Amino acid sequence: MKTKVTTRDIRMVENLKEEKMSKKACINKIFVIAAFLVVLITGYALAAPPTPEKPLVIDYEMWLPPMDPGFQINKAFFDKMAALTGGAVKMQYHVAGSMGSGADSYNRVLSGITGATQFGPGYTLGVFPMFSMFDNPIRFPTAEVLSRAMQEMYELGYLDKDFGKVKILGLYVLGPYILPSIKYKATKVEDFKGLKIRCPSEGWVRWTKALGAIPVSMTSGEQYLALQKGIVDMTPNPWDGLKIYKLADIAKYVTDVSMMTFTHAIAMNKDKWNELPKEAKEYLEKNWKQNSIKAAKHYDEGAAGLKQQFLKAGNEVVYIEPAEWDNIGKLFAPIWDDYIAQTEAKGLPAKKAVNDLYRILKELGVDKALVGYTPK
């Protein structure tokens, strides 16, 4: 016997379906609203500005000893920023490698382990291809001059890609390097042959090999014993390095090449930067370049006095004979050619950048600053 389906039965089934769909839609709406409220509340909590009761803590790392003059100036700079926030930002400083190797400083700030770092880009090979032009042979009279040139290159946008993952808040160099030694001095190319020279960065390795010397990669903290024991014959430093690392106690000679240096950058993690109060950001943006020049000048001011102290102690300072710089230039030309070729191969405007750096230094009063390179 067949059951007859009436119009009424069909309507009842359709009503049941509509009721189920309505309930499902209602539940979906509830989930959507709940999720929206969670995101809204969480977002508000994350976006809540720091206060003296709940300050934003920034761990600032620096691999050099706390007496480093650049660090002291930078510490005062960031302390003033924190004071302007009325306690909403708190700085914590970690020096002398207490956070780990200086070579890993950039990776720590990038990952957020530290909030800010004063680091040496020369320690991180291949990460900063455009900035590494400053590791090539450059002669310059003062830290201030090369620091100003570096900042101008930054303003021209040449370093944007290198530092695009962090917020740059400092760029400067130490003074031009000299070569302290216990036994050796050099006035000609041939004097360098076979000498073991400490190399603080890849640029120094290239420089050393070009002169026929032997590169020995080593951190600044290891150099005193290395020089004392003859592991190295010369150890590049700015003049203040003789004081900081006590090299003046054992060195008898200084070959003043006034060439090359070690670069410093200060970077802040971008998430930390975004969390800073408005007044802190405005202060840092407005003043970081001037603060970096202040640090560079401090190195320059101490150099003359330290040189005089070294001479008064009965030691000797020698210089490369003027005619020898042409010979050195020929040896260094491949360094610049290789740098440009390798960096251009990465799609970066290395040749244009090097030409602009040559021009900027000339405008700052330094002729033929790039040893072995002239604009082409």
Based on the structure, what is the number of domains in the chain?
1
H helices of 156-277, in order, are: 202-210, 223-229, 239-244, 270-275
The verdict on residue 75 lying in a domain is: yes
Residues 41, 69: Cα–Cα separation, whole Å: 45
The verdict on residue 44 lying in a domain is: no
pTM of the model: 0.85
Report DSSP state, residue 61: E
Read out DSSP for 257-321?
A: --B---EEEEEEEHHHHHHS-HHHHHHHHHHHHHHHHHHHHHHHHHHHHHHHHHHHTT-EEEE--
Count CB-CB contacts under 10 A for residue 343.
Answer: 19
Q: Comparing C-alpha atoms, which of 62, 61, 65 is closest to residue 224?
A: 65
Tokens of 99: 């956070």
The verdict on residue 248 lying in a domain is: no
Q: For 312-348, what is each residue's pLDDT tens digit?
A: 999 999 999 999 999 999 999 999 999 999 999 999 9
With bands split at pLDDT 50, 70 and 90, how would you rate the model's confidence at 22?
low
The verdict on residue 310 lying in a domain is: no
SS3 204: helix
With bands split at pLDDT 50, 70 and 90, how would you rate the model's confidence at 122?
confident
The verdict on residue 288 lying in a domain is: yes
One-letter amino acid at 169 equals L
User: What CATH number is associated with residue 124?
Assistant: 3.40.190.170
The verdict on residue 251 lying in a domain is: no
Of the chain, the end-to-end C-alpha distance in Å amounts to 102
| Structural domain boundaries enclosing 282 | 56-173+262-301
Q: Comparing C-alpha atoms, which of 122, 264, 243 is closest to residue 178?
A: 243
Q: Comparing C-alpha atoms, which of 149, 150, 207, 151 is closest to residue 177?
A: 207
Q: For 153-174, what is each residue's pLDDT tens digit?
A: 999 999 999 999 999 999 999 9
Please give the backbone phi and psi of residue 56, each rounded to the nearest 5 degrees, phi first.
-85, 115
The verdict on residue 61 lying in a domain is: yes
The verdict on residue 69 lying in a domain is: yes
Q: For 208-248, what is each residue's pLDDT tens digit?
A: 999 999 999 988 889 999 999 999 999 999 999 999 899 99
- Quote the pLDDT of residue 45: 43
